[in-house]
Structure 1
Amino acid sequence: MLAEGAAQLDAEQAFSGHPSIWWEVYNLMRCTDPPCNLGPHCWRDPVGKKHYKLKSHHLRSLIMHVQDGLTLKTHDDIPEEIREQLYAEEQ
């Protein structure tokens, strides 16, 4: 299964000449802060600096937004509807 996914990402990159959107989103959202134990991917709220765990459906939504032309270069670029969803799930 992982080999198939890696092959698909390689094919996407070879076709477009750019890294895979999946790869870019997952890499950007990977949490590298030492105290964070929420999982491999989280969103850091730029205001409160709090970490919010990103689940598969959040990452898929981000990927779809990028495919639709949204800029996603930093955590500040997370769309408001995904932020609101993360805030609601936290309560």
Structure 2
Amino acid sequence: MINDYYNKWLKNFLQRRLTVSSDILFAFDGALSASRRHLGDFHHGLPITYFCEALHWLVGQSSMYHGTDPYQGLTQRRYGFPSWSWTGW
């Protein structure tokens, strides 16, 4: 099962509004760098250790957060990032 710490952290992180949308990975990497030793490396914002499971997120739908909607309002595409990652929305 995907790491609960990552789930909670990502939900809170996605509620932030960045001045420059394309800075999403820089902001994510900087904010999560202290936890990297516990979660491992990431690929486009998804933990490699839980990569297949982390791909099961949905934009604007109830998701892996057990009935919550952390992606609400993230329906506009963020170009330059893959659509299969939350970084692309």
| Shorter-chain TM-score tier | under 0.3
Q: Flag the structure with more relative contact order, 1 or 2, with Cα contacts below 8 A and sequence separation at least 6.
A: 2
TM-score scaled by structure 1? Answer: 0.26
Larger Rg: 1
* Structure (1/2) with the larger helix percentage: 1
